[in-house]
Structures are given as C-alpha cells and as structure tokens.
Amino acid sequence: MLRYTVKRLGSLLASLVVASLVIFACIEVVPGDPASFMLGINAQPDTVAALREELGLNRAPHERYIAWVGGLVTGDFGTSYTYRSPVSEIVVERLAISLPLAIYALSLTILVAFPVGILAATRRGSLTDISVMATTQLGVAIPNFWFALLMVLVFAVNLRWFSAGGFPGWDAGIPAAVKALTLPAIALALPQASILARVMRSSLLDTLSEDYIRTARAKGLTGRQALRKHALRNALIPVLTIIGLQFSFLLAGAIIIENVFFLPGLGRLVFQAISQRDLIVVESVVMILVFAVIIVNFLVDLAYAWVDPRLRSRT
C-alpha cells in the first residue's frame, strides 16, 4: 500500500507542474489588457501605463511565471488586479460557498442514487426498475438551469418559502445559510443523482451475474446477504470513479447554477475574472481547481485500493 501511495504521489506532483505551465501559457496568449479594462475608454495613455507598471505587467513572461509559481509554493497566490486584494482571501471567501454547496449536492446525490440504484438492480425488469430508468433518463435530459428556474418560480416567487437566490453568509447562522443553498443543491444534484443511480444499477447488475455471487447463494446466503456481503462492495469501483468526477465538477462547474441563484461561488469568480482579464485570479483559481481535482483523484485511487486489494499489488 505504501509503494502504491508513493507512486500515486509522484504522478500527482508531475501533473501539477505540467498543469501550471499549461495554464500560464494559455493565459499568456489571451488578448486583452487588465489595466485598459479597469480604466475604461476615457483614460489617458499615461494613466494606463502607470497602472500596468504597478501591476507588474511590464515584466517578461518567464519572470512572471517564476514569481507566480514561487508564490504558489510558499502559499502566496498574488494580488488580484481588479479587486486589489490577495487572491487567497478572495478564493477562501468563495470556497466558503462552493465547497459546502458541492458537499451538500453530492450528499443529496449519494443519498438518492444509492437506494434507487440498488432497488432498481435488485428488481430488474419490474415496474419499479422501469420507472427508475425513465425518471433518471428525464433527470439527465432536463437542463439543470431550467429546473432551477422552475424551482425558483414555484418555491420563491409563488410560495415564497425560499429567497430567489443570494447567500446571507455563514455568520447569519447555519440554518439560514443551509436554506439558501438548498434549492441550488437540489438543482445541481438532479442530473448527478440520475447519472449515479444508473451507474449504480448497471454496475450492481454486472456483479450480481458474477460466478462468486452464484457460489455465495449456493453456500446458502440469502439474496440480501449476498448483495450486502459480496455484490455491493465489488460494484462500488465504477461508482467511486463517477463520484470523484462529480465532486470535481460540482466544485468548479456550478457557474450556471451560481448565476441563476446569484451565489458568489468559485465558478462565478472565474467567469468574472476572465471577462475582466484579472489574469492572476484566473491562473490561481484554475491552479487550485486542478489541485483539487488531482487530490480527489488521488483519494479515489486510494479508495479503489481499499475496496479492491488486488489493485495494491498490481501497480
């Protein structure tokens, strides 16, 4: 297990270095100057020059790359061009929404998908199975921003149970904050739960038809016992992969849902930063997301090995 962990850590580091180079190079070729953007169309050229100088935009690209990576290593993510405050501070503020929202949505996903998937798999071909398949098909097909708008119309505009959006902050109390994240979490979870339930079902069906299940049943285990002791654990590998992907997606890919509910999350931060050419924010946030994805994948890799001991020796 140790050798396996060290190997995984090595590839993790290599991925990070490559990612930092790619991100920096991509951002370098994006046209547009942050200083001109901030000063608008009436600014005098010398004012723009003064601002460029202060932001350090006149330095050579390799100098800026080294300064940036050097900062990242020491935990200094730089100062935002537009907001003029430390990127780390801004990102932490946004993560205080994006991270709980992702966890909330993923929990809902798992809470719904597991029982539904298992139910459908164990009653293959039944009416339950068919309706689960139909509903999840619909869940995947419905665009989640549309579903979000529908929920806003019903629960915020008509019933007034929820606000139409916004986030009161964690200092307004945990119930208020959780309430504000509920509709967005449901909107995010709908397609994810549908996908995960389908994966759970098909993966479980695969394992249920394996020889060792038949053997287990032959030894005298009931269907339920065989499912719990043998089938579930083996069916988890593809499910874990999907959960890992889903978590990364929920953390960074909630831009549209964040816009519908005007939540100040990480996705909206990146979106705004790109249009304002706040390149340092874009670089650093993308790097943090890459880091998060790599860490999640690393954890998923470890979880594979935990679920399936054969993987530890194979690599």
State the first-to-last Cα distance of the chain, in angstroms, to the nearest integer: 10
76 scored as a contact of another protein (CB under 8 A): no
In the complex, minimum distance from the CB of residue 259 to another protein, in angstroms, rounded to a whole number:
5
CA 84/CA 232 separation, integer angstroms = 51
Q: Which of 23, 51, 235, 305 binds another protein (CB under 8 A)?
A: 51
In the complex, minimum distance from the CB of residue 207 to another protein, in angstroms, rounded to a whole number:
44
CA 98/CA 251 separation, integer angstroms = 6
Q: Which of 13, 14, 18, 43 binds another protein (CB under 8 A)?
A: 43
47 scored as a contact of another protein (CB under 8 A): yes
CA 2/CA 6 separation, integer angstroms = 6
In the complex, minimum distance from the CB of residue 22 to another protein, in angstroms, rounded to a whole number:
21
261 scored as a contact of another protein (CB under 8 A): yes
Name the E strands within 94-191: none
CA distances 25 to 18, 62, 88, 107, 251, Å, are 11, 10, 22, 36, 24
**Could you tell me how far CA 173 lies from the centroid of its own chain?**
25
Q: Helices 127-141 & 174-208, crossing angle to 10 degrees?
A: 130
Any idea which residue has 């990242």 for tokens?
A: 72
The residue among 12 and 48 lying less far from another protein, judged by its C-beta, is 48
CA 94/CA 243 separation, integer angstroms = 22
Structure tokens at 170: 């964690």
275 scored as a contact of another protein (CB under 8 A): yes
In the complex, minimum distance from the CB of residue 93 to another protein, in angstroms, rounded to a whole number:
6
**Could you tell me how far CA 25 lies from the centroid of its own chain?**
24
In the complex, minimum distance from the CB of residue 70 to another protein, in angstroms, rounded to a whole number:
25
Name the E strands within 64-123: none
Q: Which of 5, 15, 36, 202 binds another protein (CB under 8 A)?
A: 36
Binding mask of the shown chain, residues 80 to 109, with x at each position contacting another protein by CB under 8 A: --xxxx----x--xx---------------
**Helix count and strand count (H, E) for the chain:** 15, 0
277 scored as a contact of another protein (CB under 8 A): yes
In the complex, minimum distance from the CB of residue 75 to another protein, in angstroms, rounded to a whole number:
21
In the complex, minimum distance from the CB of residue 274 to another protein, in angstroms, rounded to a whole number:
8
Binding mask of the shown chain, residues 105 to 144, with x at each position contacting another protein by CB under 8 A: ----------------------------------------
74 scored as a contact of another protein (CB under 8 A): no
Query: Hey, what amino acid is at 273?
Result: A
CA distances 176 to 160, 179, 181, Å, are 15, 5, 9
Check: CB of residue 181 under 8 Å from CB of residue 98.
Answer: no
With CB under 8 A as the contact rule, which of the stretches 47-55, 215-223, 229-237, 286-294 interacts with another protein? 47-55
The residue among 208 and 251 lying less far from another protein, judged by its C-beta, is 251
Q: Which of 66, 157, 178, 295 binds another protein (CB under 8 A)?
A: 157
Chain residues that interact with another protein, rule: CB under 8 A: 31-34, 36-44, 46-47, 50-51, 54, 82-85, 90, 93-94, 149, 152-153, 156-157, 160, 163-167, 169, 259-265, 268-269, 272, 275-277
